[in-house]
Structure 1
Amino acid sequence: MLLGFGNRAFAAVDSLYVQPADTGAGISRVYSQNAKHYVLQPDKAGRKNVLVIFLGGSGSTPSDYSTFAEYAASLGYGVLDLQYPNGLAVGTTCMLSDACFTNLRGETSFGARVAYAPGMASFNSTATLVDADNSIVSRVVNLIDYLAHNASLDRAYWAQFLTANANSPYSTSGSGKAYPNWSKIVIAGHSQGGGDAAFIAMHLPASTPARRVVLFSAPNDSIGGGSASWIAGPSATPPAKFWGMHAQDEGTYGQYVSLNWLNLGGLGVGGPNSLEILLGDFGIAALTHRLVLNSAGSSLTQHDSTAANDPYGRYPEDRVKAWAYLLTANGSD
């Protein structure tokens, strides 16, 4: 398909929806087309050897973020708009328990009682039950493996985003035990998905940080008006690799995002990377890591405006400009 945003056209992109259960044993089946993984493979011309993994907000499906996914693909990125266990609203579920935030996000990301690598922490939530197969990381490696063995796609292109490793707790049918190749992966997400993206990037081995992290209206985890403790914990992915955007007035959906950006990786560690600039005022020379979107409407409308599809099918120029900046700023991608 040929993608168009505003009056601009971009290169052709192949797209397909993938049933999660078809990618690996033990992965749950979905019963809606909208809830299937949405995969985009850019044309070879202008293709980047970089993959964007996108995680949507609470109760969402990949179809709710197809505009962002298609725009990222139009820039040359491979894109996995992932369906994952996101039925619980993390903020509501864990609002009175700091440990709940850590364990719920950890289990969703890596699986219940699963250590990502030998010697690393594992997580066990009393609020949810996500086994190793259905964790975010397992779904990522199994989906990549599925694509790397799909004769209708560029199999070598997808294979580069997996790293075989006998120590991995995540098994695939075609590539065996494997990890995502984080050196080639941008992990991004909105709302709950943004919190999970940050959590994963922070809890990888120090030797394999994520290439880039892009957070939309996230994370918002807070206890007593302060950042949840996992946010201020050490991060395997350096703060300089984190980028983000929120809207001007997201109310309770995003009231702690600015504070959490400042504290990601340690209290106050965000520092200069957390300087926020209103989208209409920023320039490339500023190289800020944090944008604030001019937005209107209810707090939920503003919260969704940073990444979710516009209900009227519009592609606001300021939002597209921000997406491009957050994915490419500093020239590394």
Structure 2
Amino acid sequence: MKFFLIPLAFIFLSYNFTFAQSSSGFPKEYKVLEVKPSSTDSLIKESNSPHLVVYNPDAKQGKLLFFMPGTGGIALNGPKRFFATAVSQGYHVINISYINRPAVAQICKGENLADNSKCTSEFRQQRIYGDNDFSLIDDEPQDAIVNRLTKLLIYLSKTDKAGNWDTYLEDGKPKWSEIAVSGQSQGGGMAAFIAKEHLVARVIDFSGGWDYSAKNKIADWYAAKSVTPANLWYGTYHAKEPAAKVIKESYVAMKIPENQIYAFDLAFPKGRKAHSNGIRNTNYVDQWIELLGKAN
């Protein structure tokens, strides 16, 4: 497990960090697209704020970083400095817009959890794939995360030829071997769930949720066999976030190697949360590069 100590003065400077950028907040050479989900699939009506798409058209194309924000997250307001770092490492980046309210932890608790020990896995199955009948959320099949990603990739392959988006498709479906999955909080848990069932290029879980199968017992799905091998798994959390102990326990259950679990511990400015610090604080850029690896 890795801990990081940096003088407090630098933490506050990090939030004022600037680079040569366009009005999008990214370096001028990057191509930035905003695509409404309904533009890719007319059946999508809910959570129709735009997806964020970023890449460097002048760089050698690498893997796709598919990122899922946490509860209440809006794709266009995502961690742009982390995404810019990913692009500098050779990735195309998609920050997906999806239904992220209510959260797993808001539904799978109390009587709902007592009545169904598989509540969290069934919740995630419905939100990711839309192929089961989980009655506690209203997500429709077209709202599912994977449908949104698939339809976005197909749309981009037709409308943005320069991006060569066909690279990330195979038989009209995501080519997971070319896709690194990542996310923060609820989105981190979604990334982990996908990586259990598909061989992805990499999985980077930022404080990815705290699912239970019973009171004080982490969800069984964490220990389920993973199609993606352990050496491709990375997990982070902040030592001072409320669920730090449970998140670490879930990472151990998922067999993430100890040296690929990052226990961030930098101080964070007043009014900000430890839970999101790992994905927002640019003092972690060296760790982001380690987490991302080279995409091309």
Cα distance, 1:29 vs structure 2 = 5.4
Aligned length: 268
Change (3 A) 1:229 1:24: same
* CA distance in structure 2 between the aligned counterparts of 1:235 and 1:71, rounded to whole angstroms: 28
Q: Distance in 2 between matches of 1:95 and 1:42?
A: 43
Q: Which residue of 1 aligns with 2:45?
A: 28
Kindly indicate whether the alpha-carbon contact (under 8 Å) linking 2:230 and 2:257 is maintained by their aligned counterparts in 1: no
Provide the C-alpha distance between the structure 1 equivalents of 2:33 and 2:219, rounded to a whole number of angstroms.
Answer: 37
Provide the C-alpha distance between the structure 2 equivalents of 1:236 and 1:5, rounded to a whole number of angstroms: 39
Q: Is the 8 A contact 1:19 1:30 kept in 2?
A: no
Supply the distance in 2 between the matched residues of 1:55 and 1:72 (Cα, whole angstroms).
Answer: 14
Tell me the residue number matched to 2:9: none
Which residue of structure 2 lines up, in the alignment, with residue 181 of structure 1? 175
Of 64, 77, 83, the residue aligned with 2:77 is: 64
State the alpha-carbon separation in 2 of the partners of residues 8 and 36 from structure 1: 24
**Higher fraction of helix:** 2
Q: Is the 8 A contact 2:73 2:100 kept in 1?
A: yes
Q: Structure 1, unaligned stretches of length 5 or more?
A: 115-122, 165-177, 265-269, 276-287, 310-314
Root-mean-square deviation (CA, aligned residues, Å) is: 2.4
Distance 1:110 1:192 in 2: 15
Map of 1:76 onto structure 2: 90
Match in the other structure for 2:202: 212
Q: Residue 320 of structure 1 aligns to a residue in which SS?
A: helix
TM-aligned CA deviation for residue 72 of structure 1: 1.3
The answer to whether the 8 Å contact 1:13/1:74 transfers is no
Task: Looking at secondary structure, tell me which structure has more strand per residue.
Answer: 1
Q: 2:159 maps to what in 1? A: 150
Note the C-alpha offset of 1:142: 0.5
Shift of 1:327: 0.6
- The letter for the 2-side match of 1:196 is M
After TM superposition, the structure 1 = structure 2 runs for residues 1-333 of structure 1, keeping only pairs within 5 Å, are: 12-28=29-45, 30=47, 35-45=49-59, 47-67=60-80, 68-96=82-110, 97=113, 98-111=117-130, 114=131, 123-151=132-160, 153-155=161-163, 157-164=164-171, 178-204=172-198, 209-222=199-212, 223-252=214-243, 254-264=244-254, 270=255, 273-275=256-258, 288-297=259-268, 301-307=273-279, 309=280, 316-317=282-283, 319-328=284-293
Letter aligned with residue 69 of structure 2: G
Secondary structure at 2:287's aligned position in 1? helix
- Give SS of 1:105's match: helix
> TM-score scaled to structure 2, two decimals?
0.83
TM-score normalised according to structure 1 size: 0.74
Task: Tell which has more relative contact order, 1 or 2 (C-alpha 8 A, sep 6+).
Answer: 2
* Offset, 1:7: 7.0
Deviations 1:173-210 (A, max 9, x none): xxxxx210111100000000000111111123xxxx11
Shift of 1:8: 9.2
Distance 1:150 1:5, change over 3 A: farther
Contact 1:21 1:27 in 2 (8 A): yes
Q: How far apart are residue 229 of structure 1 and its match? A: 1.0
Residue by residue over 1:257-296, the C-alpha shift from the partner in whole angstroms, topping out at 9 and shown as x without a partner, is 10000111xxxxx1xx442xxxxxxxxxxxx211111233
Amino acid at match of 1:162: L
